[in-house]
Amino acid sequence: VALYDTVNPFSEDTAFYLALAAEQPGSAVIDVGCGTGALACALARRGHRVTGVDPSLAMLDRARHRLDGASVEWIHGGADQLLDVGADLALMTGHVAQVIGDDAEWLRTLVGVHGALRDGGRLAFECRNPDGQPWQAWTPERSRRQVDDDAVGAVDVWAEVVDVQAGRVRFEYHNRIVATGEELISLNELRFRTEQELTMQLHDVGFRLDGVFGDWDLRPVDPQSPELIFVATRR
Ligand SMILES: C[S@@+](CC[C@H](N)C(=O)[O-])C[C@H]1O[C@@H](n2cnc3c(N)ncnc32)[C@H](O)[C@@H]1O
């Protein structure tokens, strides 16, 4: 948790979601799986009314203690905790949709988000595109990079796949603090759902699909696209 923001800094995805929210100045935005709260706070600074929801107390604690953490309403739990929010926009960023591996929980999340939006409110999220098999690059050799953390200095980070099964990839994420040699390893599982699966689920829950994009420059999806970026409207 302490290294999360260093390893996952703002990037093109953040710009995309901030621009989407900016289409409606002052709008009410829900950040589902808000993590350490960087995006939620950035939205609040831009004048949005923001609710951040996450089941991880460690992540939420980090979020609450950000410099402008008091400007966001933080909720502990999943999207089913979002009652009568009437939001204009719901976001799920940083591949939260893939972290929610259990299919029943994923559907409950979509239903919860749908219920928390006003009619005409929008949902946007991204998943990595399974067609490109991005996990092939999650080897120590291909994924190793170094990041610089304010608190502990240089950190070597890399991913290593443990297991690939239909639609699920388990991998270790290694963080080695160069100065001390200390290594922190997290074991993660990501669910890879197809564009067709996600499109059907959104429709079944009551969303109209506005678009699916293959990358942050909004190009269409093709088999090599890194992402499946969904934007949908509550019917
Ligand atoms: C990879 S982090 C992404 C955090 C943040 N959205 C970002 O862009 O940096 C995934 C987050 O999803 C949260 N999460 C896991 N299961 C969830 C669920 N069922 N509903 C909402 N969030 C969930 C985790 O606690 C974690 O904070």
- Note the pLDDT of residue 220: 97
Ligand 1 centroid–CA 82 distance in Å is 15
**Residue 132 CB less than 6 A away from ligand 1:** no
pLDDT over 90 for what percent of the chain?
94
Q: What is the C-alpha to C-alpha distance for residues 189 and 73, in angstroms, rounded to an integer?
A: 28
**Residue 101 CB less than 6 A away from ligand 1:** no
Question: What is this structure's pTM?
Answer: 0.96
- Note the pLDDT of residue 84: 73
- Note the pLDDT of residue 235: 94
- In the β-sheet with 117-128, what is the strand arrangement from edge to edge? 73-76, 49-54, 28-32, 87-92, 117-128, 227-234, 207-213
Q: State the first-to-last Cα distance of the chain, in angstroms, to the nearest integer.
A: 36
pLDDT over 70 for what percent of the chain?
100
**Residue 105 CB less than 6 A away from ligand 1:** yes
- Note the pLDDT of residue 109: 97
Q: With a cut of 70, list the residues of the chain below it in pLDDT.
A: none
Q: Ligand 1, residue 95: give the atom nearest the CA.
A: 1
- Note the pLDDT of residue 170: 98
Q: Ligand 1, residue 32: give the atom nearest the CA.
A: 21
